[in-house]
Amino acid sequence: MRIETLAIHAGRNPDPATGAIAPPIYLSTTFEREADGSYPHDYLYTRTNNPNRASLEQCLTALEGGVAAAAFASGSAATAAVFQALAPGDHVIAPNEAYSGTPLLLNSVFATWGLEVTFVDMTCVAEVQQAIQPNTRLLWIETPSNPMLKITNLSEITALAHQTGAICVCDNTWATPLLQQPFQHGVDLVVHSTTKYLSGHSDVLGGAVIARTDSERFQTIRHLQTTGGAVPSPFDCWLTLRGIQTLPYRVKAHADHAYSVAKFLHQHPAVEAVHYPGLPHHPGHSVAVEQMRGFGGMLSVQIKGGRDRAFAVAANVKLFSRATSLGSVESLIEHRASIEGAGTRTPDNLLRLSIGLEHPDDLIADLEQALN
């Protein structure tokens, strides 16, 4: 089935008790055993499994074309489980351009636990190859990257990982499975912050790890999910599954609107640079064309005049909301460097834009009046 159909039907069946088309929310924390001690429905305790979580995991597995998924309470919890599935002394190669929470986890949590990490430009294959060590066990990819939208070649980096016996993990949050299928390029695990495009309405927190094969590594992640207990609530799973039903059509509109906004900003005299892989001048444009089916709803813009001018533009928008997050129906704008704090690599004149589902002409008019 095509992804538009999977988004509606995967993980969903009419309720066997009532025939309800919309799935019920199973709030029970525990499930009854039979007299012989068995669990005929395979549910014991909601930390280990829950019908709503099982439905969401089935849907995510189908969307990414994997074999299994583990849902978590947040994207950061999903990321942490991937790193925790390694052992002290193992080496990770991670991008120096990524969501700030990922290096924060590696540096402040797992470095003290004994995990080694090298941060490199993942768009440079030679730099990645040079960073490989005998104890390298995992290569982490984020493409498009946050917030500069760099594009990493999935096939090339995955090949490097497998040559050394390491696994390759891709954070596919920004592209979503609609625009990018990492498993088709040999990636071993896909991570999502389901808070963003998959849920799509800024009202539920969640994350997920999806596996290409039912490997021992994924079984460790599943063990960490159920034993550690960082699982989403039944209602969170229900909300995310509901949001996924409209994902294909939302993402297409996000991408179309972002392309229109990017073209407008690219020609505006107050703009220093626009970072959007759909623009032909973007350094990763050719790779994006090869491995993506669209360029997504995120873009970043650098404003002439530095930090103060960028803040002024963000302060004067009327339709965009000044808020952190992305992937929802409403358009958001933020000064990313001030969010990331000390040690940020993000340019001080950069604004990150999550383009929503408002009419693109209205978004452009709002940006134009703010820039002027």
Distance, CA of 19 to CA of 238 (rounded, Å): 17
Sheet holding 271-275: strands in order across? Answer: 271-275, 298-303, 350-354, 332-335, 321-322
Catalytic residue among 53, 90, 171, 366: 171
Long-range contacts of 239-243 (CB under 8 A, 24+ apart): 239/199, 239/201, 239/203, 239/204, 240/56, 240/71, 240/194, 240/198, 240/199, 240/204, 240/206, 241/11, 241/12, 241/23, 241/52, 241/55, 241/56, 241/59, 243/198, 243/199, 243/200, 243/201, 243/204
* Cα distance between residue 296 and residue 285, in whole Å: 13
Verify whether residue 33 is a known catalytic residue.
Answer: no
| Cα gap 146→307, rounded to integer Å | 19
Residue 134 has φ and ψ, to the nearest 5°, of -60, -30
Cα separation of 23 and 328, whole Å? 23
3-state secondary structure of 273: strand
Give the active site residue among 53, 196, 222, 352. Answer: 196
Given 12, 43, 47, 304, the catalytic residue: 47
- The yes-or-no answer on residue 259 being catalytic is no
- Whether 309 sits among the annotated catalytic residues: the reply is no
Closest CA to 175 of 261, 3, 56, 297: 297
Which candidate in 26, 99, 259, 276 is catalytic? 99
**Residue whose C-alpha is closest to residue 208's, from 196, 224, 222, 191:** 191
For residue 264 the two structure tokens come to 């407008």
Residue 6, judged by CB atoms within 10 A of its CB (0-12, 13-18, 19+), counts as buried
Q: Is 278 exposed, middle or buried (0-12, 13-18, 19+ CB in 10 A)?
A: buried
Q: Indicate if 304 belongs to the active site.
A: no
List active site positions.
47, 99, 171, 196
